[in-house]
Structure 1
């Protein structure tokens, strides 16, 4: 094997190690988002789980394919490398689609949060207390949402709970959650795609080298 092929082989191997870690990061981030918005989904009766669930699925698949790519690079298997490249191209398209959907719809989802939380608050204040407890917030817009002097204990860190020592409104905290994790998932997906494009080129080059070596061995 020449120096060029040697470099391509090990660059591809270590690139796939990076993809495996990135896949785990995407999976972990999806799980973290899912756990944090589970309360919002339960209280607000709305479905905003597409992005975290998609991130978990894509992250898990990326991890498995990256492991497959590492094996293909070490063994210099033409079949494994070509299969790996094709699957990676499909995954790249899926991740670009995921990131595009997040960036396009994020502002609309964030803008809907005050309306959704206000409806949930008016529908069932007792259930809304679970959201306040989890996010350490008080009412949709703040303690004045209750229009009473004495507030529920979930609105404060200590007792008695009044307007003076109450947390801020839940609107901003839930909006910040969606903005932070939405952008993080979208940016991470784009970064991974950029590295995957390089890996696909290297995989095809190494596959071509393996195919040529196999042909020469038959002469």
Structure 2
């Protein structure tokens, strides 16, 4: 009986994984799990404070708070497998953890390549057929109409980064802003922004401060204007 107890105890205490590696992996994933939980809570709190209503995919992907909340939830889900797999030495959990991380890594690699191609090879945007033209057109239509500062900042940053104005890859691309209720150049539009484009469309020389009024009335100007 005593020999059986010693044998049972030795088998129970036996571990094929180095304890240092085991608990290092556990605590590492536990800390990341806490960070993901915090991201989810902060994102949800911001959505609650903004009273954000996600109506379509456009509202979802172009709002930092929804992305933070979703990203945090994904991190919590993934690190759960890492924590429990390391702590309980569960090979099924560890394999799932490894496969999910590998899939995410490949996805990030593809995303980086696409961003690089989109930024440095402008003609590829339409050739690849995956440029989110409809989403950006929807963004232009909602710019300033919907009370969402995050959307406004995102569109401004896109135009500044890609050095574009509107969607059309031409000198008259700025006329795409004619579809916006505030910026359209029609007789019925009484908005102060009528026939204008956002300041993010304007060309700015290095070291020069942008003039927020530089895009005023450019769609009705008869001479060349300084826009991107």
Task: Calculate the TM-score normalised by the size of structure 2.
Answer: 0.39
Choose 1 or 2 for highest CA Rg.
2
Report which structure shows greater RCO (CA 8 Å, sep ≥6): 1
Larger relative helix fraction:
1
TM-score by length of 1: 0.41
